Amino acid sequence: MKATKQEMALRKYPTASERIDVAAINAKRPKATAPISNLHGEMLWSVVKKLREPELLAFLANPEERRAAKIAAVAALEDIDLLIAVATAAVPLFARKDALVRIDELCDGKPLEVSDALRLVPCLNDKDLLAFTVSLMDMSDFDWCAYSTERTVDALCAAMYECQSMYESVLLEDSFAHLSHSRPDLAKNLRACSPEKFLTEDTFAPVTPTVMYLDRYPVDNVA
> Which of 16-25, 44-53, 162-171 comes out lowest in average pLDDT?
16-25
- Report DSSP state, residue 112: P
Statement: residue 179 has pLDDT above 50 = yes
Q: What is the pTM of this model?
A: 0.68
pLDDT confidence band for 11 (50 / 70 / 90) = very low
The predicted pLDDT at position 47 comes to 64
Nearest to 53 by CA among 110, 99, 115: 99
The pLDDT assigned to 43 comes to 64
At residue 203 the predicted structure's pLDDT band, cuts being 50, 70 and 90, is very low
63-96 in b/e burial notation, b at 16+ Cβ within 10 A?
eebeeebbebbbebbeebebbbbbbbbebbeebb
